[in-house]
Amino acid sequence: MTSPQDSNMIGSPPFSIRIFIVDGNPDGLRIAERSNWNGKAMMFPRAIYTAVKVREEFQHAGVYLLFGPRTDADGEILYIGEGDPVGQRIADHYAKKDFWTRALLFVASTGALNKAHVQYLESLLVAKAHAAKRVKMDNLTKPGQPTLSEADRADMNVFLSNILGMLPVLGVNAFETSSANVPVTDASILHCTGRGASSRGRDTAQGFVVLADSVAVATEVPSLQKHFPNVSQLRSDLLANGVVTLDAGTLRFTQDYTFNSPSLASSFVMGSSSNGRVDWRDSSGRTLKEIQESENADALNEVAE
């Protein structure tokens, strides 16, 4: 089960984020700044691009993320890029890329980032998004890393760490992977079995993690595509990108993978509609729902005492 340690990146100190709603509209332009950091994030929907493109932030070097809905399935498409200044690249994509509906860019104070810096950040962000395999990528190639001094690389790794720490708070999970640094105890392992499946997983603050070498059903029930096309599409996507592979008539996980919910994880494993709070059980047979209710009762008793 989750613990307070699961809620944070292992070894990461606490931090605060200040989000400024520039025009008073929560869905409009937002500026996010992290404590003790010279960078800032700027988020806006495509619909207001022409109004915000005159801002100073567009004149700085930076990296950006463009998001849009998939047309072939649930979920989003992501494009990652860089620019010096970043505004020129956003303008080009506004004219030539139709898929994106919102943008998120990261810049720093004047002179803090240069072209090589943002190329380095872009290359690592693209690599991390491909490794996480959480969203479909619009990037056709994986950019190489520019030559940086040892000191510059260290500075940019810190800058990247700050970006990655902010992204989940800003509603972006495209870069999240199942952390190998979080201890996995026997008590925290849950099991989902049936229809030939035999999977192991654990509930975390980032989502439900199905562990490597877990076995899922290869053949879906006929109604899955009709009633839960998102699950069916996800099974196809994860097979295509190698998260699972066909093995003796089953699907075997080649890596730990984080699903958005226990039910999505168990439905994927079973190849049919599933209630993850019931179908994930510990070694004693307790369901995830029973475990959570027991932990909640214990917490309430501690408060009462």
pLDDT, tens digit, 9 for 90 and up, residues 112-144: 999 999 999 999 999 999 988 889 999 988 899
121 occurs within a structural domain: yes
Q: Is the entire prediction scored with pTM above 0.75?
A: yes
Q: Is residue 176 part of a domain?
A: no
- 289 in any annotated domain: yes
Boundary-marking domain end, from 112, 132, 166: 166
Q: Is 215 among the domain residues?
A: yes
Q: Mean per-residue pLDDT for 261-268?
A: 96
Q: Does residue 190 sit in the same domain as residue 275?
A: yes
Domain boundary among 133, 166, 199: 166
In a domain, 120, yes or no: yes
Higher pLDDT residue, 182 or 264? 264
In a domain, 7, yes or no: no
Return the pLDDT at 2. 41
pLDDT band at 30 (very low <50, low <70, confident <90, very high): very high
Domain presence at residue 260: yes
Which pLDDT value is given to residue 185? 61
pLDDT of residue 1: 41
Position 184 scores a pLDDT of: 58
Give the mean model confidence (pLDDT) for residues 29-41: 95
Bigger pLDDT: 186 vs 245:
245
Instruction: Give the pLDDT confidence score for residue 188 in this predicted structure.
Output: 83
Does residue 301 register a pLDDT over 80?
A: no
- 11 has pLDDT over 80: no
- The count of domains in the chain is 2
230 in Cβ contact with 74 (< 8 Å): yes
Residue 215 sits in the same domain as residue 280: yes
Confidence (pLDDT) at 7: 38
Domain that holds residue 210: 186-304
One domain for residues 33 and 121: yes
Average pLDDT, the chain: 90
Q: Are residues 75 and 218 in the same domain?
A: no
Question: Is 140 found in the same domain as 23?
Answer: yes
Q: Assess whether 59 and 132 both reside in one domain.
A: yes
